[in-house]
Each structure stands twice: as C-alpha cells, then as structure tokens.
C-alpha cells in the first residue's frame, strides 16, 4: 500500500464476515487502520503491528487483505524464532519468584526429623537442616534471593552473622563411619536402561521382583512408598497418555516431565510446590544454553498431554524456564555398573538430598542404589552438629552395590548389619 489505506477503495465482504460493525465502530476502525498503516511504513518489521492491522481488517469486512497482514506477521515470527533458536544463545536466569514461605522450611525440617526414625527400635534421625556458612564465599558480591524469608533460625544463633540464604545438612547425633544417614525417595527421577529388566518400579526404577500393581495401567511399584509417591504425586495426569514423542535417555527432559506432571496433578503454581520451592536457585552468574525445543516446545507439549491449559499465567515461559533451571541446578546423575558393564543411568531431584552441600573432602557419601532413591552414609565418624557434606562428582565411579550384598561395598563403606536390615524394610 503506497499511501494510507482508504475505505471505499474496495467493498467489504459481508458473506465471509458475519458480524457488521456499527457506524461509529467502523469509523474508529478506519482511523485505527490508517494509523497502523503509517506506523508500519516507518517500522515494517514488527510482527504484532501487522497482526493488529489484520484483525482490524477482519472487523471491517476485508478478510483477504487481513490474510496478507497475518501472513507477514507469521513470516516475521518465524524469522525471530530462527534467531532465538540460535545455538549461541544462553539463558541468564533471573530467579525472581518470591518464596517467602516459612512453612516450606518447616516441612523440610520435619522430613529430616522423620527420616529413618523407628521408635520401636530406638532409631532416631541422623540429619537435620540448618543454615550453612559454606556458600557464603560463593554468594559474595551477589544478592541471593531468599527462599525462607522471615524465618528465625533459633538453632543457629552462633551463625547469626551469616546473612546469605544457604542451607546445609548437619549431624543430629554422633555418627560412626559407615553408618546409614539418610534414605531419600523422590518423585522427580528417571533411569535409562531400566526397560531391559523384566520389572522395574514405575516410580524409582528399582528392579522389582515382587511388584505391586497400579491397577489403572500396567505400571508396577517396588513398595507402598513408591506406589503412594506415584499415584498421589503425578501418575493420574500421565496415565494412558501417548509419550512416544519423548526421547528415551534424555534425563533432564524426563525430570521436567515428572516435575510438570507433579505440579499439574497438585493444581498449584509450579514454583509454589513444596518440592520445587525448596530448591536453591541457580546463580545468575552461571548461565545455561538455551534450546527453543527443549525449553519451550517440549514443556508446553507436556502440559498439553497432562490436560493443563498452558496459556494460564502459572505456566508462563519465565516460570517454566525457572523450573527447568532449578532442576538442572539440583539434579544428580550417575551410571550404574555391574561387572564393569554399564547397566543403567539414573538421575533425580531428591527432596532431602538437594540440601547437601559439596566438599572435595566430603565426610558423607551418596549412592543411588540402582534406582532414583538416594542413600547417604558416613565416610568417617561425624560429631553431632558437624555439617555433613558429599562430593557432587562421583570421582570413584558409581559401581553397582546392592545393599543386600555388603561385600560389594568399598572398604569403609560397609553398612552395619542393623542398617542393612533397616534398608530392606524401608
């Protein structure tokens, strides 16, 4: 169009467009179209302007002209997506969600206090949650977002000078080398290679010789714990759905899948779910690669699969990207070997394990135990009140060690007979 559009040059098509505007509305639309046309002459590469003008043409009864504008808007969107999917792009995450929820901290504390407790046998919890000075140096110069704002930590008065919001796991009692410290099941887990076994637990992927049947589909579980975690956590929204489009072996994708199923089934804002709200945010100084398909297309398709309306504000792109970043900051991954053969690769985001800080001279050791459940044991005697750290990187390799076969453990890692018995029961 060389000049501003003029009404009357062509006739409206009221056969295709059923709704006729009032005279006043028509005048307003014509003025708006002329203004749009002038703006487009100056800035022709703004997709939404073409779309807006196209919508006005539809309302005025010119669907053919509107189609041309809509097509130009589409071409511009495709072009900008090509730019946005460029592999050189990285995400500088701004984790801006406010998590001022003291109850999240309280819940995590209660979970630590209840872990491995068996009053009839006199077993008490070995771990507790407290503020840590470890991340202070890492946080220096950067204002960290508070997840547990307004919480007075009475137990850590001696650390009152610590302002950063970083937590760690501490010994709740004196523990001995080799002692079992924590058993942490999770909803957010995945294992590749598990399909080769006859039966594997649909929640934690452990080999399951005595399966419990879900009833609704052919899923089986290794224990009542996993059955509860699955059915009450995420299974209902994914049961019977076609998942063939999800790539096998892509761990982060499957962790996101479980996480989204969990928040949809719970019907809460993804970042408010207690298992997400507790996760530490990634420092904005550590950007991540961006992939249009992985970060946007797949999560939206997952939400659609679960029957969620992804146009709702709680599924905004910034929320989904934050969720993904939280997962990638807190997930663990390890290969499982049997007679030097890699038989499985497991990964997960575990609700209690995610509070352990890293040390190259760790006093604790983690093992995924051929499933997505994490077992933490003491590598040395640890005094009550000492921080329990683990090595995030499994330098020694994660060899296949069944808890039922203590001979497979490295020297110093043997579980006591009582611990083996406890693990079998859990």
Ligand X SMILES: C[S@@+](CC[C@H](N)C(=O)[O-])C[C@H]1O[C@@H](n2cnc3c(N)ncnc32)[C@H](O)[C@@H]1O
Task: Provide the minimum distance between the beta carbon of 269 and ligand X in the complex, in angstroms, as a whole number.
Answer: 20
Q: Which residues contact 361 (CB under 8 A, 6 or more apart)?
A: 389
Task: Provide the minimum distance between the beta carbon of 135 and ligand X in the complex, in angstroms, as a whole number.
Answer: 4
CA distance 388 to 160: 20
80 φ/ψ angles, rounded to the nearest 5 degrees: -70, -30
CA distances from 221 to 8, 313, 425 (A): 71, 35, 15
The candidate with the shortest Cα–Cα distance to 129, out of 151, 112, 147, 146, is 112
Task: Provide the minimum distance between the beta carbon of 327 and ligand X in the complex, in angstroms, as a whole number.
Answer: 11
How many C-beta atoms surround the C-beta of residue 214 within 10 A? 17
Q: Please give the residue ranges that form the binding site for ligand X (CB under 6 A).
A: 134-135, 138, 166-168, 280, 329-330, 354-355, 357-359
Contacts 24+ apart (CB under 8 A), 414-421: 414/178, 415/178, 415/179, 415/180, 415/377, 416/178, 416/179, 416/180, 419/178, 419/179, 419/180, 419/377
Residue pair 95/282 in contact (Cβ under 8 Å)? The answer is yes
Instruction: Return the number of the residue (178 or 364) whose C-beta is nearest ligand X.
Output: 364
Residue pair 349/255 in contact (Cβ under 8 Å)? The answer is yes
Task: Provide the minimum distance between the beta carbon of 357 and ligand X in the complex, in angstroms, as a whole number.
Answer: 3
Task: Provide the minimum distance between the beta carbon of 186 and ligand X in the complex, in angstroms, as a whole number.
Answer: 13
How many C-beta atoms surround the C-beta of residue 114 within 10 A? 9
The candidate with the shortest Cα–Cα distance to 217, out of 196, 192, 197, 243, is 243
CA distance 265 to 302: 13
Task: Provide the minimum distance between the beta carbon of 275 and ligand X in the complex, in angstroms, as a whole number.
Answer: 13
Task: Provide the minimum distance between the beta carbon of 350 and ligand X in the complex, in angstroms, as a whole number.
Answer: 10
The candidate with the shortest Cα–Cα distance to 378, out of 175, 220, 194, is 175
Task: Provide the minimum distance between the beta carbon of 258 and ligand X in the complex, in angstroms, as a whole number.
Answer: 18
Instruction: Return the number of the residue (358 or 405) whose C-beta is nearest ligand X.
Output: 358
Instruction: Return the number of the residue (135 or 180) whose C-beta is nearest ligand X.
Output: 135
Instruction: Return the number of the residue (229 or 374) whose C-beta is nearest ligand X.
Output: 374
Tokens of 376: 């933490």
Task: Provide the minimum distance between the beta carbon of 185 and ligand X in the complex, in angstroms, as a whole number.
Answer: 17
Could you write out the three-class secondary structure of 292-355?
HHHHHHHHHHHHHHCCCCCCCHHHCHHHHHHHHHHHHHHCEEEEEEECCEEEEEEEEECCCHHH
C-alpha angle 408-413-414 in degrees, rounded to nearest 5 = 65
129 φ/ψ angles, rounded to the nearest 5 degrees: -100, 130
Task: Provide the minimum distance between the beta carbon of 123 and ligand X in the complex, in angstroms, as a whole number.
Answer: 25
């Amino acid at each position: 169009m060389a000049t501003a559009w003029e009404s009357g040059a062509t006739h409206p098509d009221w056969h295709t467009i059923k709704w006729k505007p009032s005279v006043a509305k028509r005048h307003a639309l014509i003025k708006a179209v002329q203004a749009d046309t002038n703006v487009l002459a100056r800035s022709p590469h703004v997709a939404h302007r073409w779309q807006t003008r196209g919508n006005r043409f539809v309302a005025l009864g010119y669907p053919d002209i509107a189609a041309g504008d809509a097509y130009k808007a589409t071409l511009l969107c495709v072009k900008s997506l090509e730019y946005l999917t460029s592999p050189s792009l990285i995400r500088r995450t701004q984790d801006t969600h406010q998590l001022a929820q003291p109850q999240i901290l309280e819940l995590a504390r209660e979970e630590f206090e209840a872990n491995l407790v068996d009053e009839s046998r006199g077993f008490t919890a070995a771990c507790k949650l407290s503020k840590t000075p470890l991340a202070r140096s890492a946080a220096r110069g950067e204002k960290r977002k508070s997840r547990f704002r307004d919480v007075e930590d009475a137990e850590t008065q001696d650390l009152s000078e610590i302002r950063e919001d970083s937590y760690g796991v501490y010994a709740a009692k004196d523990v001995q080398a080799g002692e079992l410290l924590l058993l942490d099941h999770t909803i957010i887990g995945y294992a590749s290679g598990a399909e080769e076994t006859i039966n594997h637990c649909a929640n934690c992927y452990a080999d399951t010789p005595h399966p419990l049947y879900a009833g609704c589909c052919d899923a089986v579980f290794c224990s009542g714990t996993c059955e509860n975690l699955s059915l009450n956590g995420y299974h209902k929204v994914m049961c019977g759905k076609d998942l063939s489009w999800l790539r096998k072996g892509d761990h982060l994708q499957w962790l996101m899948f479980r996480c989204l199923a969990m928040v949809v089934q719970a019907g809460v804002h993804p970042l408010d779910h207690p298992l997400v709200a507790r996760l530490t945010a990634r420092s904005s100084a550590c950007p991540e690669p961006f992939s249009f398909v992985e970060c946007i297309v797949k999560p939206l398709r997952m939400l659609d699969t679960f029957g969620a309306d992804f146009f709702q504000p709680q599924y905004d792109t910034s929320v989904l990207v934050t969720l993904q970043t939280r997962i990638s900051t807190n997930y663990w991954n390890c290969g499982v070997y049997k007679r030097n053969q890699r038989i499985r690769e497991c990964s997960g985001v575990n609700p209690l394990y995610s509070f352990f800080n890293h040390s190259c001279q760790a006093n604790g050791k983690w093992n995924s135990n051929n499933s997505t459940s994490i077992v933490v044991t003491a590598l040395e005697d640890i005094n009550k009140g000492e921080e329990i750290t683990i090595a995030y990187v499994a330098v020694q390799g994660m060899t296949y060690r069944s808890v039922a076969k203590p001979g497979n453990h490295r020297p110093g890692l043997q579980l006591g007979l009582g611990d083996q018995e406890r693990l079998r029961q859990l």
